[in-house]
Amino acid sequence: MEAASFIFSLNYLELEKQEKKIKDMKVGIVFLLFAAVCESYRILCIFPHQMKSHFDVFEPLLKELSARGHDLTVISHFPQKRKISRYTDISLKGSADILVEAVSLNQINPSRIDKYLTSRFITRFANIVCQKGLSLPAVRNLHQDGCKFDLVIAEFFSSNCFLSLLNQCRVPLIATSSCELLPWINDFFANPDNPSYIPIVFMDYYKMGFIERLENAFLYMANKVLYEYFSVWDANSAAKANFNVQNVERFAFNASLMLVNSYFALNRARPFVPSIIEVGGIHLQEPKQLPLNIEKWINESKDGVIYFSMGSMIKGHTFPEHKKQAFLRAFGRLKQRVLWKWENDTMPGKPDNVMIQKWMPQFDILCHPNVKGFVSHGGLLGTTEAVHCGVPVVVMPQFGDQHTNARALEAGGGGIVLDFHNIEEDTVYRALKTILDPEFNKKAKQLSERFRDRPMPPLETAIYWIEYVARHKGADHMRTAAVNMPFYQYLLLDVIAFLILALAFTIFIVYHTIRITCGMCCKKTQKVKKS
């Protein structure tokens, strides 16, 4: 009887396998038919910035486009390790230093003056990439071969020198931004960027009083001037030297669309013209299985786990000793376990509830249900991942957009800001206890629900609009009439000047009319008196 039952089980399993094979074949046939009827586009993708986190934002988009049948040629510092069908790399490796674990914490200056020079800081990297990247044989060949593409996707960040490739390729351009819009990018789309209520990306304000608005306005103008003076000049110099192309900024002003890695539920509400599409969280995919040692460490913690990482660019192990000890003592007072991304093999004085490792799958960890908190530097990728997973954050912003991300997260109820330069054991402990409070966790979950509640996932949104622009061979109809409008017309300075002149002329006429009338009346009165 048992033998018969066993044979029946084997037959049933075999039948299940056959049904699964038939089902997979049907899915494959449907996919092939779908691919056959969908139009395939040849897309040139330009991502020349050497910070890996910037490329990580849009890498899933590029892979998905190739998976959907489009032919991609990708210029970047980060070629694929494994060959991908319909995905061709043009590597910039060697033309500039890769910005991974490149910054020590003791190199970061807490002075506020650094915010005024951030644009100059990032344009220095751009200048190196422009001078050396455009001279690489593969890039020069791409320019000489003429246009083989239907569409160009390019990151708009610190320089537009690689847009000189569009001189040979008059096709629609889609821009991307891995962070909130930088001050000078708004100009390319005539997007409202009023500094009276929109803090620029380098600020650490959410709602601004008079002093904050004054500083924001000054910072807004200073960064635009620095960009125009340094980045535009450097880009034009490199383009002219390598391809004899002048005024590369004109290509940026012709962009059909901008995909920006922000979303109002997290990054605050602000106006956007139709040609700017928010796709915040575009890099997020389904969490993967954790490495066994990390999964075991998390699962065995009865009170949950805190994850600690300072991102890919900062060397986490360069923590000043007294600040590291403050964290270790604070962690030692907690019931929770801690996962700390630490680039060294050892950490003297580490308590038993702390586990260190050089690399950890951040998103997969944050989405584990037993992870209760995150200690972060405020990078947009990590912030977005924490919000998506509903994990509250202690944020220690260092530079760039991290201050803005931290304040936006705090305002949304997803975290609190901890001043890195005034860290003590008690301040760290209080911050950790705050985010571990169930009520605070509830706020973080509510923020996560608002962030995830959308008509379409961000990746699907981006692909729809990319294919939309390709189908219609551009999207000039999505651009407002303000693009390329002289600033005096955009700000109505000519209208204001006309009204002032008209008012002055009217006052002049009225004044002289009254004067003449009064004079004539006075003369008549004098004549009457004499007579």
**pLDDT attached to residue 73:** 94
**pLDDT attached to residue 388:** 96
**Which structural domain, as residue segments, surrounds residue 53?**
42-283+458-478
Residue 137 lies in a domain: yes
Give the mean model confidence (pLDDT) for residues 497-505.
Answer: 95
71: enclosing H helix or E strand? strand 71-76
Residues 141 and 185 in one domain: yes
Residues 326 and 419 in one domain: yes
Residues 79 and 129 in one domain: yes
**pLDDT attached to residue 366:** 95
Going by pLDDT thresholds of 50, 70 and 90, the confidence category of residue 115 is: low
pLDDT tens digits for 434-485?
999 999 999 999 999 999 999 999 999 999 999 999 999 999 999 888 888 8
**pLDDT attached to residue 17:** 45
Indicate if the pLDDT at residue 2 is higher than 90. no
Residues 323 and 427 in one domain: yes
Q: What's the CA gap between 153 and 172, in Å, rounded?
A: 9
Indicate if the pLDDT at residue 38 is higher than 70. no
**pLDDT attached to residue 116:** 61
**pLDDT attached to residue 530:** 67
Q: How far is CA 410 from CA 395, 422, 504, in A?
A: 9, 18, 51
Cβ distance 378 to 398 under 8 Å? yes
Residues 226 and 324 in one domain: no
In the chain, the N- to C-terminal Cα span, in Å, equals: 146
Residues 469 and 509 in one domain: no
Residues 91 and 239 in one domain: yes
- DSSP string covering 21-63: HHHHHHHHHHHHHHHHHSPP-EEEEEE----HHHHHHHHHHHH
pLDDT tens digits for 51-98?
888 899 999 999 999 999 999 999 999 999 899 999 999 998 877 766
Q: What's the CA gap between 177 and 400, in Å, rounded?
A: 14
**pLDDT attached to residue 454:** 94
pLDDT tens digits for 212-252?
899 889 888 888 888 887 788 888 888 888 888 888 888 99
**pLDDT attached to residue 371:** 94
**pLDDT attached to residue 335:** 92
Residue 13 lies in a domain: no
Give the mean model confidence (pLDDT) for residues 144-151.
Answer: 82
**pLDDT attached to residue 46:** 93
Q: What is the CATH number of the domain that holds 263?
A: 3.40.50.2000
Angle among Cα 209, 212, 216 to the nearest 5 degrees reads: 130
**pLDDT attached to residue 436:** 94
Residues 430 and 501 in one domain: no
Give the mean model confidence (pLDDT) for residues 336-343.
Answer: 91
Going by pLDDT thresholds of 50, 70 and 90, the confidence category of residue 12 is: very low
Residues 267 and 307 in one domain: no
- Report for 206-210, 276-280, 403-407: range of highest mean pLDDT: 276-280
Instruction: Determine the distance from the C-alpha atom of residue 27 to the mean position of all C-alpha atoms in its chain, rounded to a whole number.
Output: 35
Residues 432 and 493 in one domain: no
**pLDDT attached to residue 22:** 47
Domain count, the chain: 3
Both tokens of 511, joined, read: 């004044």
Cβ distance 256 to 469 under 8 Å? yes
pLDDT tens digits for 274-332?
999 999 999 999 999 999 999 999 999 999 999 999 887 777 777 888 888 999 999 99
Going by pLDDT thresholds of 50, 70 and 90, the confidence category of residue 9 is: very low
**pLDDT attached to residue 27:** 38
Looking at per-residue pLDDT, the higher value among 26 and 135 belongs to: 135
Residues 437 and 507 in one domain: no
Cβ distance 280 to 408 under 8 Å? no
Both tokens of 77, joined, read: 């510092």
Residue 233 lies in a domain: yes
pLDDT tens digits for 221-231?
888 888 887 78
Residue 483 lies in a domain: no
Looking at per-residue pLDDT, the higher value among 411 and 29 belongs to: 411
Give the residue carrying structure tokens 């003369």: 523
**pLDDT attached to residue 118:** 67
Helices (H) and strands (E) counted in the chain, each on its own, are 19, 15
Percent of the chain with pLDDT over 70: 87
Residue 9 lies in a domain: no
**pLDDT attached to residue 107:** 59
Residue 426 lies in a domain: yes
Indicate if the pLDDT at residue 24 is higher than 70. no
Q: Could you say which DSSP state residue 227 is in?
A: I
Indicate if the pLDDT at residue 162 is higher than 70. yes
**pLDDT attached to residue 36:** 40
Cβ distance 50 to 77 under 8 Å? yes
Residue 316 lies in a domain: yes
**pLDDT attached to residue 103:** 63
**pLDDT attached to residue 368:** 94
Average pLDDT, the chain: 84
Give the mean model confidence (pLDDT) for residues 402-413.
Answer: 90
Residue 31 lies in a domain: no
Give the mean model confidence (pLDDT) for residues 147-174.
Answer: 88
Residues 267 and 305 in one domain: no
Percent of the chain with pLDDT over 90: 47
**pLDDT attached to residue 119:** 66
Q: Could you say which DSSP state residue 396 is in?
A: -
